Amino acid sequence: MTRWEAFVQCPGCGYDLATGEGERSCAWGDCPYLPEELDVLCPNCRFNFMTGQGNDLCGHPGTCEYAADARSHVVNLRDWIASHPR
C-alpha cells in the first residue's frame, strides 16, 4: 500500500477533498497532511481538476504545463474516495 492509499483525514474533519468544501477540524486552508499524490489543485491558480471548478488563469486547464501532476492525481483521489467512504 502506498502512502496516499493509507492516508486518513484527521478525526472530526469534514473537509471534502474532492469538492474543497466542508468544515475543517483545523485552522489550515488546505490539509497539511494531504499526500502530494492526492492533490488535484493546480499549483498556479488552484483550479480543481476533480470537479472542473475554479478560475483557470491560463485558459486551457486541460493542457496547462503547471498542472500536469494535479491532473494525473485525479485517478488517485477517485480511488482513495472509493476506498474511504464517509
Domain count, the chain: 1
Tell me the β-bridge partners of 53: 48
Element (H, E) at 79: helix 68-83
Residue 18, domain extent: 1-86
**pLDDT higher than 80, residue 7:** yes
Mean pLDDT for the stretch of residues 5-21: 89
Helix (H, G, I), strand (E, B) or coil at 82: helix
C-alpha cell at 50: 476533480
**pLDDT higher than 80, residue 85:** no
Helix (H, G, I), strand (E, B) or coil at 53: strand
pLDDT at 66: 86
pLDDT at 57: 81
Q: Who's near 67: CB < 8 A, 6+ residues apart? A: 42, 43, 44, 47, 49, 61
Mean pLDDT rounded to a whole number for the chain: 88
Residue 47 and residue 39: Cα distance in Å, rounded? Answer: 11
